[in-house]
Protein backbone atom coordinates (compact mmCIF):
# COMPACT_ATOMS: atom_id res chain seq x y z
CA UNK A 1 0.00 0.00 0.00
CA UNK A 2 1.34 3.40 -0.97
CA UNK A 3 1.81 6.34 1.35
CA UNK A 4 0.86 10.00 1.33
CA UNK A 5 3.49 12.71 1.75
CA UNK A 6 2.25 13.31 5.31
CA UNK A 7 2.65 9.60 6.15
CA UNK A 8 6.17 9.54 4.69
CA UNK A 9 7.20 12.59 6.71
CA UNK A 10 5.72 11.02 9.86
CA UNK A 11 7.59 7.75 9.23
CA UNK A 12 10.94 9.49 8.78
CA UNK A 13 10.52 11.62 11.93
CA UNK A 14 8.95 9.17 14.37
CA UNK A 15 10.63 9.18 17.80
CA UNK A 16 8.03 7.32 19.82
CA UNK A 17 4.44 6.17 19.70
CA UNK A 18 3.27 6.16 23.31
CA UNK A 19 -0.14 4.59 23.83
CA UNK A 20 -0.32 3.60 20.17
CA UNK A 21 -2.30 6.36 18.56
CA UNK A 22 0.03 9.27 19.26
CA UNK A 23 3.15 9.97 17.19
CA UNK A 24 5.98 11.90 18.80
CA UNK A 25 7.87 13.51 15.93
CA UNK A 26 11.39 14.90 15.74
CA UNK A 27 11.24 18.54 14.61
CA UNK A 28 13.44 20.09 11.93
CA UNK A 29 12.30 23.62 12.72
CA UNK A 30 10.69 25.46 15.61
CA UNK A 31 9.57 28.95 14.57
CA UNK A 32 8.83 31.60 17.20
CA UNK A 33 7.17 35.01 17.36
CA UNK A 34 6.72 37.53 20.14
CA UNK A 35 3.05 36.85 20.94
CA UNK A 36 2.98 33.15 21.82
CA UNK A 37 6.65 32.48 22.68
CA UNK A 38 7.26 34.76 25.72
CA UNK A 39 4.79 32.80 27.89
CA UNK A 40 6.61 29.58 26.93
CA UNK A 41 9.97 31.18 27.77
CA UNK A 42 8.66 32.45 31.14
CA UNK A 43 7.33 29.01 31.99
CA UNK A 44 10.64 27.31 31.09
CA UNK A 45 12.51 29.81 33.25
CA UNK A 46 10.08 29.35 36.15
CA UNK A 47 10.59 25.57 36.04
CA UNK A 48 14.38 25.75 35.85
CA UNK A 49 14.32 24.49 32.25
CA UNK A 50 15.59 27.55 30.39
CA UNK A 51 17.22 25.50 27.62
CA UNK A 52 16.80 25.12 23.84
CA UNK A 53 17.15 21.83 21.96
CA UNK A 54 19.15 23.30 19.07
CA UNK A 55 19.69 27.04 18.51
CA UNK A 56 20.26 26.48 14.77
CA UNK A 57 16.86 24.88 14.28
CA UNK A 58 15.00 27.61 16.13
CA UNK A 59 14.13 30.75 14.15
CA UNK A 60 12.50 33.77 15.78
CA UNK A 61 10.93 37.04 14.68
CA UNK A 62 9.07 39.98 16.13
CA UNK A 63 6.24 40.54 13.68
CA UNK A 64 2.78 40.94 15.20
CA UNK A 65 3.25 44.30 16.91
CA UNK A 66 6.36 46.03 15.60
CA UNK A 67 7.54 48.64 16.42
CA UNK A 68 6.09 48.00 19.89
CA UNK A 69 2.91 50.02 20.54
CA UNK A 70 2.97 50.10 24.37
CA UNK A 71 4.79 48.80 27.43
CA UNK A 72 3.24 45.35 27.24
CA UNK A 73 4.20 44.70 23.63
CA UNK A 74 7.64 46.18 24.32
CA UNK A 75 8.05 43.60 27.09
CA UNK A 76 6.97 40.75 24.79
CA UNK A 77 9.66 41.85 22.33
CA UNK A 78 12.23 42.17 25.07
CA UNK A 79 11.57 38.67 26.45
CA UNK A 80 11.99 37.14 22.99
CA UNK A 81 15.06 39.27 22.15
CA UNK A 82 16.85 38.53 25.45
CA UNK A 83 16.09 34.82 25.10
CA UNK A 84 17.38 34.68 21.50
CA UNK A 85 20.62 36.38 22.61
CA UNK A 86 21.25 34.23 25.65
CA UNK A 87 20.72 31.01 23.68
CA UNK A 88 22.66 32.18 20.64
CA UNK A 89 19.71 31.90 18.26
CA UNK A 90 21.38 33.52 15.28
CA UNK A 91 18.33 33.67 13.04
CA UNK A 92 16.40 36.24 15.05
CA UNK A 93 14.73 39.04 13.10
CA UNK A 94 14.15 42.33 14.91
CA UNK A 95 13.32 45.91 13.90
CA UNK A 96 14.92 46.76 10.57
CA UNK A 97 15.15 43.13 9.50
CA UNK A 98 11.80 41.75 10.57
CA UNK A 99 8.72 40.74 8.64
CA UNK A 100 5.67 38.50 8.79
CA UNK A 101 6.83 35.08 10.03
CA UNK A 102 5.21 33.01 7.28
CA UNK A 103 6.74 35.23 4.61
CA UNK A 104 10.22 35.84 6.02
CA UNK A 105 11.08 32.27 7.08
CA UNK A 106 10.47 30.77 3.61
CA UNK A 107 12.25 33.75 2.02
CA UNK A 108 15.37 33.00 4.10
CA UNK A 109 15.36 29.38 2.91
CA UNK A 110 14.47 27.84 6.27
CA UNK A 111 11.79 25.53 4.88
CA UNK A 112 12.56 22.34 2.94
CA UNK A 113 10.47 19.50 1.51
CA UNK A 114 10.05 16.69 4.03
CA UNK A 115 10.62 18.94 7.06
CA UNK A 116 8.57 18.91 10.24
CA UNK A 117 7.84 22.42 11.52
CA UNK A 118 5.82 23.83 14.41
CA UNK A 119 5.09 27.36 15.53
CA UNK A 120 2.70 28.94 18.01
CA UNK A 121 0.66 30.32 15.16
CA UNK A 122 -2.21 28.66 13.34
CA UNK A 123 -1.07 29.83 9.90
CA UNK A 124 2.11 27.75 10.16
CA UNK A 125 0.34 25.49 7.64
CA UNK A 126 1.63 28.01 5.05
CA UNK A 127 5.00 26.22 4.93
CA UNK A 128 3.28 23.11 3.60
CA UNK A 129 3.59 24.87 0.24
CA UNK A 130 7.16 23.49 0.17
CA UNK A 131 6.13 19.90 0.80
CA UNK A 132 6.75 20.15 4.55
CA UNK A 133 4.53 19.00 7.40
CA UNK A 134 4.04 22.34 9.15
CA UNK A 135 1.46 22.84 11.88
CA UNK A 136 0.33 25.52 14.26
CA UNK A 137 0.45 24.59 17.94
CA UNK A 138 -0.32 26.14 21.30
CA UNK A 139 2.20 27.54 23.74
CA UNK A 140 2.71 24.29 25.68
CA UNK A 141 3.54 22.34 22.50
CA UNK A 142 5.82 25.19 21.46
CA UNK A 143 7.52 25.11 24.86
CA UNK A 144 8.28 21.41 24.51
CA UNK A 145 9.40 21.97 20.93
CA UNK A 146 11.89 24.59 22.12
CA UNK A 147 13.09 22.39 25.00
CA UNK A 148 13.22 18.95 23.39
CA UNK A 149 12.68 19.33 19.62
CA UNK A 150 9.67 17.04 19.57
CA UNK A 151 5.92 17.39 19.21
CA UNK A 152 2.99 14.97 19.33
CA UNK A 153 0.43 14.52 16.60
CA UNK A 154 -2.23 11.97 15.91
CA UNK A 155 -1.37 10.44 12.55
CA UNK A 156 -3.46 12.64 10.28
CA UNK A 157 -5.60 11.41 7.46
CA UNK A 158 -5.23 13.19 4.16
CA UNK A 159 -7.85 15.05 2.12
CA UNK A 160 -6.61 15.30 -1.46
CA UNK A 161 -7.99 18.30 -3.30
CA UNK A 162 -7.24 18.38 -7.00
CA UNK A 163 -7.56 21.74 -8.72
CA UNK A 164 -8.20 21.45 -12.45
CA UNK A 165 -9.23 23.72 -15.31
CA UNK A 166 -7.93 27.05 -16.53
CA UNK A 167 -8.16 30.16 -14.36
CA UNK A 168 -9.74 33.18 -15.97
CA UNK A 169 -7.65 36.37 -15.92
CA UNK A 170 -8.17 38.32 -12.70
CA UNK A 171 -8.81 35.16 -10.65
CA UNK A 172 -6.07 34.11 -8.23
CA UNK A 173 -4.89 31.54 -5.68
CA UNK A 174 -6.85 33.47 -3.02
CA UNK A 175 -10.07 32.94 -4.94
CA UNK A 176 -9.27 29.23 -5.25
CA UNK A 177 -8.71 28.73 -1.54
CA UNK A 178 -11.88 30.70 -0.70
CA UNK A 179 -13.76 28.38 -3.09
CA UNK A 180 -12.19 25.31 -1.44
CA UNK A 181 -13.28 26.53 2.02
CA UNK A 182 -16.76 27.42 0.71
CA UNK A 183 -17.15 23.88 -0.61
CA UNK A 184 -15.78 21.89 2.33
CA UNK A 185 -16.69 24.31 5.21
CA UNK A 186 -14.66 25.60 8.18
CA UNK A 187 -14.80 22.12 9.69
CA UNK A 188 -14.27 20.16 6.47
CA UNK A 189 -10.65 19.12 7.03
CA UNK A 190 -10.39 19.10 10.83
CA UNK A 191 -7.66 16.69 12.00
CA UNK A 192 -6.69 16.12 8.36
CA UNK A 193 -3.87 17.27 6.12
CA UNK A 194 -5.03 18.82 2.87
CA UNK A 195 -2.88 17.78 -0.08
CA UNK A 196 -3.28 20.30 -2.89
CA UNK A 197 -2.71 18.73 -6.31
CA UNK A 198 -3.63 18.98 -9.95
CA UNK A 199 -2.44 21.00 -12.94
CA UNK A 200 -3.49 24.38 -11.53
CA UNK A 201 -1.35 23.86 -8.41
CA UNK A 202 1.51 22.44 -10.51
CA UNK A 203 1.51 25.66 -12.55
CA UNK A 204 1.57 27.93 -9.49
CA UNK A 205 4.72 29.71 -8.29
CA UNK A 206 5.70 29.48 -4.61
CA UNK A 207 4.00 32.75 -3.62
CA UNK A 208 0.72 31.42 -4.97
CA UNK A 209 1.15 28.03 -3.31
CA UNK A 210 1.81 29.76 0.01
CA UNK A 211 -1.49 31.67 -0.35
CA UNK A 212 -3.24 28.34 -0.94
CA UNK A 213 -1.58 26.48 1.95
CA UNK A 214 -1.94 29.47 4.30
CA UNK A 215 -5.71 29.17 4.58
CA UNK A 216 -5.86 25.36 4.95
CA UNK A 217 -6.38 25.92 8.68
CA UNK A 218 -9.53 27.92 7.91
CA UNK A 219 -11.03 24.60 6.82
CA UNK A 220 -9.72 23.05 10.04
CA UNK A 221 -6.71 21.33 8.45
CA UNK A 222 -3.54 20.53 10.40
CA UNK A 223 -1.40 21.39 7.40
CA UNK A 224 -1.91 22.24 3.72
CA UNK A 225 0.71 20.49 1.63
CA UNK A 226 1.73 21.03 -2.00
CA UNK A 227 3.97 18.34 -3.48
CA UNK A 228 7.59 19.41 -4.10
CA UNK A 229 8.59 19.83 -7.76
CA UNK A 230 11.04 21.83 -9.90
CA UNK A 231 9.26 25.08 -8.91
CA UNK A 232 10.08 24.28 -5.28
CA UNK A 233 13.70 23.43 -6.14
CA UNK A 234 14.19 26.61 -8.18
CA UNK A 235 12.89 28.76 -5.30
CA UNK A 236 15.22 27.01 -2.85
CA UNK A 237 18.24 26.73 -5.17
CA UNK A 238 20.20 29.72 -3.75
CA UNK A 239 20.02 28.06 -0.32
CA UNK A 240 20.70 24.45 -1.34
CA UNK A 241 23.23 24.81 -4.16
CA UNK A 242 26.06 23.64 -1.90
CA UNK A 243 24.10 20.57 -0.81
CA UNK A 244 23.32 19.19 -4.28
CA UNK A 245 25.29 18.81 -7.52
CA UNK A 246 22.35 19.99 -9.60
CA UNK A 247 18.71 21.04 -9.31
CA UNK A 248 17.82 17.64 -10.74
CA UNK A 249 19.63 15.91 -7.88
CA UNK A 250 17.74 18.04 -5.36
CA UNK A 251 14.48 17.24 -7.12
CA UNK A 252 15.20 13.51 -6.96
CA UNK A 253 15.89 13.81 -3.24
CA UNK A 254 12.76 15.84 -2.52
CA UNK A 255 10.31 13.92 -4.65
CA UNK A 256 10.94 10.80 -2.61
CA UNK A 257 8.51 12.40 -0.14
CA UNK A 258 5.78 12.77 -2.78
CA UNK A 259 2.63 10.73 -2.28
CA UNK A 260 2.66 7.34 -3.99
CA UNK A 261 0.17 6.77 -6.82
CA UNK A 262 -1.57 4.13 -4.70
CA UNK A 263 -1.60 6.22 -1.52
CA UNK A 264 -4.82 5.98 0.47
CA UNK A 265 -6.81 9.16 1.09
CA UNK A 266 -9.56 9.68 3.63
CA UNK A 267 -11.31 12.01 1.20
CA UNK A 268 -10.75 13.30 -2.31
CA UNK A 269 -12.30 16.16 -4.21
CA UNK A 270 -11.78 17.67 -7.62
CA UNK A 271 -12.56 21.32 -8.18
CA UNK A 272 -12.70 22.77 -11.69
CA UNK A 273 -11.83 26.46 -11.47
CA UNK A 274 -12.48 27.31 -15.13
CA UNK A 275 -15.68 29.21 -14.33
CA UNK A 276 -14.50 30.61 -11.01
CA UNK A 277 -15.15 34.32 -10.45
CA UNK A 278 -13.29 36.49 -7.91
CA UNK A 279 -14.73 35.74 -4.47
CA UNK A 280 -15.18 37.48 -1.15
CA UNK A 281 -16.57 36.61 2.27
CA UNK A 282 -19.78 38.07 3.65
CA UNK A 283 -20.12 36.95 7.28
CA UNK A 284 -18.04 36.02 10.27
CA UNK A 285 -16.82 32.64 8.99
CA UNK A 286 -14.28 32.01 6.22
CA UNK A 287 -16.75 29.64 4.51
CA UNK A 288 -19.34 32.42 4.08
CA UNK A 289 -18.15 33.04 0.52
CA UNK A 290 -19.88 34.70 -2.47
CA UNK A 291 -18.82 36.00 -5.87
CA UNK A 292 -17.66 39.63 -5.71
CA UNK A 293 -20.33 40.39 -8.32
CA UNK A 294 -23.04 39.60 -5.73
CA UNK A 295 -21.48 41.86 -3.09
CA UNK A 296 -20.57 44.85 -5.21
CA UNK A 297 -22.69 47.47 -3.48
CA UNK A 298 -21.07 46.97 -0.10
CA UNK A 299 -19.31 50.18 1.02
CA UNK A 300 -16.03 49.81 2.90
CA UNK A 301 -14.17 52.13 5.27
CA UNK A 302 -10.74 50.52 5.09
CA UNK A 303 -8.81 48.41 2.62
CA UNK A 304 -5.90 46.37 3.95
CA UNK A 305 -3.38 44.71 1.64
CA UNK A 306 -0.81 42.53 3.39
CA UNK A 307 -0.50 39.58 5.81
CA UNK A 308 0.91 36.06 5.60
CA UNK A 309 -1.79 35.26 3.04
CA UNK A 310 -1.26 38.05 0.52
CA UNK A 311 1.56 40.42 1.46
CA UNK A 312 4.18 39.00 -0.93
CA UNK A 313 5.75 40.69 -3.93
CA UNK A 314 3.43 39.18 -6.50
CA UNK A 315 0.40 40.30 -4.45
CA UNK A 316 1.71 43.87 -4.34
CA UNK A 317 2.46 43.78 -8.09
CA UNK A 318 -1.11 42.76 -8.92
CA UNK A 319 -2.61 45.39 -6.61
CA UNK A 320 -0.32 48.07 -8.09
CA UNK A 321 -1.38 47.06 -11.59
CA UNK A 322 -4.99 47.79 -10.61
CA UNK A 323 -4.10 51.02 -8.78
CA UNK A 324 -1.73 52.49 -11.38
CA UNK A 325 -2.72 56.05 -12.28
CA UNK A 326 -5.82 55.91 -10.08
CA UNK A 327 -6.91 57.35 -6.75
CA UNK A 328 -8.63 55.45 -3.98
CA UNK A 329 -12.08 56.71 -2.95
CA UNK A 330 -12.02 59.63 -0.48
CA UNK A 331 -14.16 57.58 1.93
CA UNK A 332 -11.59 54.76 2.09
CA UNK A 333 -8.47 54.44 4.23
CA UNK A 334 -5.98 52.33 2.28
CA UNK A 335 -3.20 50.52 4.17
CA UNK A 336 -0.55 48.27 2.65
CA UNK A 337 2.02 46.28 4.65
CA UNK A 338 4.69 44.61 2.48
CA UNK A 339 5.33 41.34 4.31
CA UNK A 340 9.14 41.50 4.56
CA UNK A 341 11.98 44.04 4.14
CA UNK A 342 13.13 42.26 0.95
CA UNK A 343 9.62 42.50 -0.48
CA UNK A 344 9.49 46.17 0.54
CA UNK A 345 12.86 46.85 -1.15
CA UNK A 346 11.87 45.06 -4.34
CA UNK A 347 8.55 46.93 -4.38
CA UNK A 348 10.45 50.20 -3.99
CA UNK A 349 12.75 49.37 -6.91
CA UNK A 350 9.85 48.34 -9.11
CA UNK A 351 7.96 51.57 -8.37
CA UNK A 352 5.15 49.68 -6.65
CA UNK A 353 5.45 51.62 -3.41
CA UNK A 354 5.15 54.91 -5.33
CA UNK A 355 2.04 53.60 -7.09
CA UNK A 356 0.45 52.79 -3.74
CA UNK A 357 1.38 56.20 -2.31
CA UNK A 358 0.21 58.10 -5.39
CA UNK A 359 -3.12 56.27 -5.15
CA UNK A 360 -3.52 57.42 -1.55
CA UNK A 361 -2.40 54.35 0.41
CA UNK A 362 -0.51 54.48 3.69
CA UNK A 363 2.52 52.18 3.42
CA UNK A 364 3.57 50.61 6.73
CA UNK A 365 6.65 48.70 7.72
CA UNK A 366 6.58 44.89 7.32
CA UNK A 367 4.27 43.53 10.06
CA UNK A 368 1.14 41.48 10.66
CA UNK A 369 -0.42 44.90 11.21
CA UNK A 370 -4.16 45.34 10.82
CA UNK A 371 -4.93 41.64 10.26
CA UNK A 372 -5.80 40.82 13.84
CA UNK A 373 -6.78 44.06 15.52
CA UNK A 374 -4.01 44.07 18.10
CA UNK A 375 -1.60 46.49 16.43
CA UNK A 376 -2.34 49.25 13.91
CA UNK A 377 -5.29 49.74 11.57
CA UNK A 378 -7.96 48.77 14.12
CA UNK A 379 -11.57 49.25 12.95
CA UNK A 380 -14.11 51.29 14.92
CA UNK A 381 -17.42 49.70 15.94
CA UNK A 382 -19.63 49.37 12.87
CA UNK A 383 -16.84 49.86 10.33
CA UNK A 384 -16.22 47.61 7.34
CA UNK A 385 -12.89 46.46 5.91
CA UNK A 386 -11.90 44.77 2.69
CA UNK A 387 -8.75 42.75 3.38
CA UNK A 388 -6.37 40.32 1.73
CA UNK A 389 -6.01 38.54 5.09
CA UNK A 390 -7.33 35.14 6.19
CA UNK A 391 -9.89 35.61 8.98
CA UNK A 392 -13.22 37.42 9.08
CA UNK A 393 -14.19 36.43 12.63
CA UNK A 394 -16.42 38.73 14.64
CA UNK A 395 -14.16 41.42 16.12
CA UNK A 396 -11.07 40.17 14.28
CA UNK A 397 -9.92 43.62 13.11
CA UNK A 398 -11.52 45.49 16.02
CA UNK A 399 -14.65 45.07 18.12
CA UNK A 400 -17.82 45.53 16.09
CA UNK A 401 -15.97 45.57 12.77
CA UNK A 402 -16.73 43.50 9.66
CA UNK A 403 -13.98 42.06 7.46
CA UNK A 404 -14.47 40.89 3.88
CA UNK A 405 -11.64 38.62 2.67
CA UNK A 406 -10.55 38.86 -0.96
CA UNK A 407 -7.60 38.81 -3.37
CA UNK A 408 -5.20 41.78 -3.74
CA UNK A 409 -6.71 42.62 -7.14
CA UNK A 410 -10.22 42.79 -5.70
CA UNK A 411 -9.01 44.74 -2.66
CA UNK A 412 -7.30 47.33 -4.88
CA UNK A 413 -10.41 47.72 -7.06
CA UNK A 414 -12.53 48.01 -3.92
CA UNK A 415 -10.28 50.80 -2.62
CA UNK A 416 -10.75 52.74 -5.86
CA UNK A 417 -14.53 52.29 -5.98
CA UNK A 418 -15.18 52.74 -2.24
CA UNK A 419 -17.32 49.61 -2.30
CA UNK A 420 -16.60 45.95 -2.99
CA UNK A 421 -15.83 45.65 -6.69
CA UNK A 422 -14.25 43.40 -9.27
CA UNK A 423 -10.98 44.61 -10.73
CA UNK A 424 -10.69 45.54 -14.38
CA UNK A 425 -8.28 42.61 -14.72
CA UNK A 426 -11.38 40.42 -14.41
CA UNK A 427 -14.18 42.71 -15.66
CA UNK A 428 -12.50 43.68 -18.93
CA UNK A 429 -12.39 39.99 -19.84
CA UNK A 430 -16.12 39.77 -19.21
CA UNK A 431 -16.81 42.36 -21.88
CA UNK A 432 -14.75 40.68 -24.57
Partner 1 sequence: MKSFEGNILCLDRADINTDEIIPAKYLTEIEKIAMKPHLLEDLTLDGFDPATDLEDIAVIVTRENFGCGSSREHAPWALEVNGIHVVIAPSFARIFRQNMFNCGMLAIDLPEDDIQALFDLCNNGGGRLTVDVDTNTIRAKGKEKQLTLGFSISEFDKTLVKTGGWVEYADTNY
Does residue 382 touch partner 1 according to CB under 8 A? Answer: no
Work out which of 11, 331, 393, 430 binds partner 1, going by CB under 8 A. 393
Q: Site map for partner 1, 206-225, x if CB under 8 A? A: --------------x-x---
Site string for partner 1, 395-414 (x = CB under 8 A): xx--x---------------
Contact between 129 and partner 1 per CB under 8 A: no
Contacting residue, 47, 90, 241, 354, with partner 1 by CB under 8 A: 47
Under rule CB under 8 A, residue 22 binds partner 1: yes
Stretch that binds partner 1, among 103-111, 144-152, 232-240, 340-348 (CB under 8 A): 144-152
Q: How many CA atoms lie within 13 A of 284 on its CB side?
A: 10
Residue pair 195/160 in contact by the 8 Å Cβ criterion: yes
Which of 54, 55, 97, 139 forms a contact with partner 1 (CB under 8 A)?
139
Closest separation in Å from C-beta 43 to partner 1: 7
Q: How far, in Å, CA of 367 to CA of 337, rounded?
A: 6
Site for partner 1 in 65-84 (CB under 8 A): 65, 70, 72-73, 75-76, 79
Determine the size of the site formed for partner 1 (CB under 8 A): 56
Which of 166, 187, 327, 428 forms a contact with partner 1 (CB under 8 A)?
A: 187
**Taking CB under 8 A as the rule, does residue 24 contact partner 1?**
yes
Q: Looking at 168-176, 202-210, 370-378, 411-419, which segment touches partner 1 (CB under 8 A)?
A: 370-378
Distance between first and last Cα of the chain: 50
Indicate whether 136 belongs to the interface with partner 1 (CB under 8 A).
yes
Stretch that binds partner 1, among 118-126, 266-274, 298-306, 341-349 (CB under 8 A): 118-126
Closest CB to partner 1 among 122 and 183? 122
Question: Which x/- pattern, by CB under 8 A, does the window 284-323 give for partner 1?
Answer: -x--------------------------------------
Decide: is 183 part of the binding site for partner 1 (CB under 8 A).
no
Assess 45 for contact with partner 1 (CB under 8 A): no
Site for partner 1, rule CB under 8 A: 15-16, 18-22, 24, 35-36, 38-39, 42-43, 47, 49, 64-65, 70, 72-73, 75-76, 79, 120-122, 124, 136-141, 143-144, 147-148, 150, 152, 186-187, 190-191, 220, 222, 285, 372-374, 391, 393-396, 399
Amino acid sequence: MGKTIAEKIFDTHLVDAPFGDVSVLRLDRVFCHEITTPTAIQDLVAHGKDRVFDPDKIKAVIDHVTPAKDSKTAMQGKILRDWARRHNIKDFFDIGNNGVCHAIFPEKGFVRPGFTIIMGDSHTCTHGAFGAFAAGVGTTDLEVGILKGVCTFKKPETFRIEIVGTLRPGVYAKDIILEVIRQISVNGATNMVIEFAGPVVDAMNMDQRMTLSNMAVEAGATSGICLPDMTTVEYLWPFIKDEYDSPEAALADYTKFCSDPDAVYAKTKTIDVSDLEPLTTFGYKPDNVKPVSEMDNTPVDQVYIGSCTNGRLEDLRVAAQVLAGKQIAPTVRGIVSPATPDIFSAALEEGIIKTFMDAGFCVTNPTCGACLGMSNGVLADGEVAAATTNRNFNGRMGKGGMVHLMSPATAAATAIQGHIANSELFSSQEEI
